[in-house]
Chains A and B, each alone.
Chain A
Amino acid sequence: MKKLGWFLLNLLIYLAIVALIVWGLPQFLSWKLGTQYPIAAITSGSMWPALKEDDIVLIKKIPKEEIKVGDIVVWTNDKGFTIHRVVKLNPNTLVTKGDANFAQDPPVKYEEIVGRTVYWKDSKPLRIPYFGYIAVISGKWRGGQK
């Protein structure tokens, strides 16, 4: 009986840890970074070599005044989200471009900006390689795709 009690207690602790990681971590990051979308998975090579396909980056909400040329920002659009580098700031819009792309993107309104990537050191974006693959696959499963 005592053994069963220990087993159940251990199981409960493990489940609590898993729940904390799966549910609690995004909640914590969302609160800490001030955005509804604190984690982004990179699904294309348009920002190579700064960001690589299947990387995960953290996104921090920043006010319009703090956005600078050279920042890597995420914005919402019809396709979902795009993450590119700011190349020009206009009064009502900003212009971005993927590092690996030749053409600039159409101007983006400041209201569409979700946030900027969290920096590591020397203004390099903090990225976790390969973890984006897991996020993309789990996203597909949740969406009922294969």
Chain B
Amino acid sequence: METDIQNKFSFGSWWGMLKKKEKILLTIGAIIFLVIFYIALDANKYPATVHAIAGEGKVGINPTTEVLDFGDLSPGTSAVRRVDIKNQTPIPMYIAVFRFGAVTDLMKLDKNFFVLRGGEEAKIEFTVYMPASAPIDKTLNGRVILFKIPGPWR
């Protein structure tokens, strides 16, 4: 009796019960899911942070490579951080940068949404400018996610 139940719910028998159209749709769905999963997993994720300080023309640097840390900035000053990306595959990659959080309101990118051909390198510059209305002594945080989507891009 137990064996019967196991057979009834095994993948093979379940797959066999599906129509051809359903199998095609499921296969396409599974491929799309895997591609999205791979792109999300392969994305570069950087926490971003900047601290607003009082004064004029004051810039404090906190060097680190894992975080887009713009350090301490007083109103009217700006800091630049660069991210180097290299496409080590022969497949062109579509680069898309998405930003979230409070710091992104003050952040500008020199380029976004572009194609990086196989073997090419690129630098993306992130600039944070501290405006006159900056909240002094407050740290603004955020997150930058850099997606690399392989495809037949031109």
Contact = CB atoms under 8 A, between A and B. Distances in A.
Chain A's interface size range is 10 to 19
B105 A102 contact: no
B131 interface: yes
Interface in A108-134: none
B106 A102 contact: no
Interface residues of B, number: 8
Interface stretch (A14-22, A29-37, A46-54, A62-70): A46-54
Contacts of A100: 131-133
B132 A45 contact: no
Interface string B88-111: 000000000000000001100000
A85 to B, nearest CB: 10
A101 interface: yes
A79 B120 CA distance: 40
Contacts of B105: 45, 48-49, 52-53
B76 A45 contact: no
B132 A101 contact: yes
Residue from B132, B133, B135 having most chain A Cβ neighbours under 10 A = B133
B139 to A, nearest CB: 14
Contacts of A45: 105-106, 131
Contacts of B135: 49
Contact of B132 (A50, A52, A99): A99
Interface of A: 45, 48-50, 52-53, 99-102
Q: Which 6 A-B pairs have the closest CB atoms?
A: A100-B131, A99-B133, A100-B133, A102-B132, A100-B132, A52-B105
